[in-house]
Amino acid sequence: MLKARRHEDNPRANFVWKSLAPPRVQLFLWLLTQRRIQCRLVLLRKGIVDSGICEICNAADESPEHIIHGCSHGRGVWTSLNLLSMISVDMNDLHSVQAHSSNPLPELASFVALICWQIWKARNAKIFRNEMKTVSQVLQECLSDANLWKHRLPTRKKPVIDQWCSILVMAREGLG
């Protein structure tokens, strides 16, 4: 008889599957932590593209780390949120990211999932539709998604989203 594997001893799995994120974002996050999102380096290894260079900044190869925090676009989002610990994290270690603050952010893993998801979507908007989103627009999309996520959470978790929204608004206004 097949039994579902428990991930109690796997911090990376807990980070992904116990987050407040919707299932599609959890799947994206799982692929991200496994370094298996369809970035240019993965596509280059598969022979699908001829170059691994990032089409947004043209400064480095497009790896999962580059998309999330290496490219000027992702770096700008994390900087505006004052989550500088995200700027150097390896995607294999995403589950161990810490917020360096006297006031800890509740459900940090889910907040990180939200931000990574929107950075990924902004990257895809540029690649597939040639729409370049500003950091402020990415933060606005994060805010919109956070408000949508709020409706699928138990009542006791809804104040967490309110706190995220406050952080996102302050970051968007340049006060983060």
The rounded average pLDDT for each run of 10 residues, N- to C-terminus, in the chain (176 residues) is 55 90 95 94 94 94 96 93 87 78 72 96 96 96 96 90 93 80
User: What pLDDT score was predicted for residue 1?
Assistant: 39
Cα angle: 35, vertex 110, 39; to 5 degrees: 25
User: What pLDDT score was predicted for residue 54?
Assistant: 95
Residue with the two structure tokens 């594997």: 5
Q: Are 121 and 51 in contact (CB under 8 A)?
A: no
Q: What is the pTM (predicted TM-score) of this model?
A: 0.90
Q: Are 133 and 119 in contact (CB under 8 A)?
A: no
Distance CA 33, CA 2 (A): 26
User: What pLDDT score was predicted for residue 6?
Assistant: 54
Q: Are 64 and 73 in contact (CB under 8 A)?
A: no
Helix (H, G, I), strand (E, B), or coil: what is residue 61? strand
User: What pLDDT score was predicted for residue 96?
Assistant: 80
Q: Are 84 and 78 in contact (CB under 8 A)?
A: yes
Distance CA 172, CA 5 (A): 41
- Please report how the helices 108-129 and 135-150 are oriented relative to each other, as an axis angle in degrees rounded to 10: 130
Cα angle: 69, vertex 75, 78; to 5 degrees: 95
Question: Residue 97 burial (CB < 10 Å; 0-12/13-18/19+)?
Answer: middle
